[in-house]
Amino acid sequence: MPLSSPPSLGGEATPAGASAEKNAFDSDWDAGDLACGELVLELRLRMRKLNTGQVLRLTALDPGAPADIPAWCRMTSHHLLYSDPAAHLYFIQRP
């Protein structure tokens, strides 16, 4: 379930001991208009590079992304922290 407001958009990697509220994501990926199949395959690879608890900020323009990203998160046990389909923005945390 998406948060009611987006996390702060600090954009810097979270230093050890720093508050997650100040630094909302550890990695940023603009997937552009990649279609569902390519999008989720690349998303899987990018999430594997993150450590447990780290967050990826994803920008995805594919019209199917508002349905595909939450479904992928449910199937893979990743945490969809925030979703704003109008802004094409998703914050995903590695479990």
Instruction: Provide mean pLDDT across the span 16-20.
Output: 37
Q: What pTM value is reported for the model?
A: 0.76
pLDDT in tens, 32-65: 999 989 999 999 999 999 999 999 999 999 999 9
Residue 8 lies inside a defined structural domain of this protein = no
Please, are residues 42 and 30 in contact by the beta-carbon 8 Å criterion?
A: no
Structural domain tally of the chain? 1
Residue 17 lies inside a defined structural domain of this protein = no
- Whichever domain contains 49, its CATH number is 3.30.110.40
Looking at the predicted structure, is the pLDDT value of residue 1 above 60? no
Element holding 66 (H helix, E strand): helix 65-76
Instruction: Provide mean pLDDT across the span 69-78.
Output: 97
**Would you state the pLDDT for residue 88?**
96
CA gap 91, 34 in Å, rounded? 17
Instruction: Give residue 72's domain range.
Output: 27-93
Instruction: Provide mean pLDDT across the span 9-13.
Output: 40
Task: Take residue 44 and report the two structure tokens written for it.
Answer: 């899987």
Residue 16 lies inside a defined structural domain of this protein = no
